[in-house]
Amino acid sequence: RVIIHIDIDCFYAQVETILNPSLCGKPLGIKQKNIVVTCNYEARALGVEKLMSIKTALEKCPSLVLANGEDLKKYRDMSEKIYQILQSFSPFVEKLGLDENFIDISHKINKSPEIKPEVSGHIFEEKNSDETCACGCTDRLKEGSIIAQEMRNQLKSELGITSCAGIACNKLLAKLVGATHKPNQQTTLFSASSLNLMKSLKHPRNIPGIGSAMNRKLEVLGIDTIEKLQATDLFKLIEALGVKTANQIQQLSFGIDDSHVKITDRPKSIGAEDGFPTIKSETEVRKKLKCLLDRVWELVEKDGRRPSQVKLTVRKLHATNHSVRETRQTAIDLTTGVPSNAPLGPLSENQEKKVITTLMNLFEKVVNCDESWQVTLLGISF
DNA sequence: ATGGATGAG
DNA sequence: CATTCTCATCCAT
């Protein structure tokens, strides 16, 4: 296969700069509550980092400009335009978050090209890449790099968006190799270098699919390098992690990934949440929920499907000074009074009342009415 | 079906 | 460590 991974450079910051060109060239941070969730390269050069507190960021970089990124609408809109452009190259596009996409272009590769393509962009380990693989994948990947370049050119010319691309024979390797030259560059991995790319990661945690929880389990087993993960006896790994996970992550450690590019269809849930210092009365909760409901309903209306379930998310301040998220969900019938296949319109007064009542019932299942409680986040999803 | 754990950006 | 604001998948119940 030929898989391309496209990753937009500091996505939120690029969107803000396109919306407000006067930000161009200035250090820019995107703020959500007390945190700089991401920032542009100018800000990074001045010491600002992802997920840094606003306070620290401004100490490090007093000239930092902040844009509020709590409402994701602008980013969703741009993400959709990017997806549309990529889809014009291949129907097999999988979205990962708002700013990354995998594209399978295997079917577009010319079986017998008149002219052997040269590669566009970087080659991973260029010096060791003079061998041409007998199976023909080297030429296919070269052709893939040309297509990736065309995708990135089009994102730039039509949307003004710069991006990175990785080109490889599977999703894992495409994503990893694309990150080796940033920003606004692309890198192709020829299969002979796969193991070297994997070993260059150093820590198992850097493998997509190995998160913090699994990393802790691996550390308990004394596995703290890719090479140790490769060398661990599979039966020992199965004991600790189960057959499925053990096999999967050991395969990944060798750069093997058979997972398909899964076409992204409509989301299975649509939600909105809001965090705040603390609230402690049901009246305040009701008010927050109404506000959230208005925001979610915009998205639900655009989606067009009639919700059949509601879920409430609550983050409580636990005694031990750390917070815990809990969710409660239930079925909801929003069809009363309208034909069940009528187009979804704005929330009627009756519907709003029904949703809020349902949510307050769910809320009472989360909080212990007798004891005092502090809530620091509420979320609604359908 | 429900809710938590875990993973992604 | 999580912190923000989402969404998906897997698993136990």
Measuring from the CA of residue A179 to each C1' atom, give the nucleotide at the shortest distance. B9
Catalytic residue (choose from A16, A42, A94, A100):
A100
Residue A220's pLDDT is what? 87
CATH code where residue A129 lies: 3.30.70.270
Residue A213's pLDDT is what? 87
Decide: A187 and A177 in contact? Cβ < 8 Å.
yes
**Same domain for A280 and A244:** no
Strand B proximal residues, A:301-340, Cβ < 7 Å: 309, 311, 326-331
pLDDT, tens digit only, all 382 positions of chain A? 999 999 999 999 999 999 999 999 999 999 988 889 999 999 999 999 988 999 999 999 999 999 998 888 899 899 999 999 999 999 999 999 899 999 999 999 987 778 888 999 999 998 877 788 888 899 999 999 999 999 999 999 999 999 999 999 999 999 999 999 999 999 999 999 999 999 999 899 999 989 888 998 898 899 999 999 999 999 889 888 888 889 999 999 999 999 999 998 888 899 999 988 888 888 889 999 999 999 899 889 988 888 989 999 998 886 666 788 889 999 888 887 776 667 788 888 988 999 999 999 899 888 876 777 888 899 999 9
**Same domain for A78 and A66:** no
Residue A181's pLDDT is what? 95
Residue A289's pLDDT is what? 92
Q: Is the CB of A37 under 7 A from strand C?
A: yes
Q: What is the CA radius of gyration of chain A?
A: 24
The whole-number Å distance from A173's CA to C4's C1' is: 29
How many structural domains is chain A composed of?
A: 4
Residue A24's pLDDT is what? 94
Q: Is the CB of A329 under 7 A from strand C?
A: no
Measuring from the CA of residue A211 to each C1' atom, give the nucleotide at the shortest distance. B7
Is the dihedral angle over the CA atoms A279, A286, A268, A304 positive or is it negative? negative
Residue A25's pLDDT is what? 93
**Same domain for A116 and A15:** no
**Same domain for A276 and A371:** yes
Decide: A378 and A328 in contact? Cβ < 8 Å.
no
Chain centroid to CA A377: 21
Residue type, A347: L
Place of tokens 């009472």: A364
Q: Is the CB of A51 under 7 A from strand C?
A: yes
**Same domain for A176 and A87:** yes
* Domain finish residue from A71, A104, A121: A71
For residue range A16-43, what is the model confidence (pLDDT) as tens digits? 999 999 999 999 999 988 889 999 999 9
Residue A173's pLDDT is what? 96
Residue A243's pLDDT is what? 86
Asked whether residue A46 is domain-assigned, the answer is yes
* Domain finish residue from A156, A175, A197: A197
Asked whether residue A263 is domain-assigned, the answer is no
Residue type, A272: A
Q: Look up A100 and say whether it is catalytic.
A: yes
Structural tokens at position A102: 């995998």
Amino acid whose CA is nearest the C1' of B1: A330
Structural tokens at position A224: 């703290």
Q: Is the CB of A275 under 7 A from strand C?
A: yes
CA distance A103 to A92: 6
Asked whether residue A264 is domain-assigned, the answer is no
| Cβ neighbour number for residue A339 with a 10 Å cutoff | 7
Strand B: which bases are under 7 Å from protein Cβ? 1-9
Decide: A227 and A254 in contact? Cβ < 8 Å.
no
Q: Is the CB of A94 under 7 A from strand B?
A: no
CA distance A80 to A20: 19
**Same domain for A50 and A145:** no
CA distance A286 to A220: 45
From the list A289, A297, A288, A367, the residue with the least C-alpha distance to A326 is A367
Q: What is the pTM of this model?
A: 0.92
Q: Is the CB of A217 under 7 A from strand B?
A: no
**Structural domain span for residue A17:** 11-71
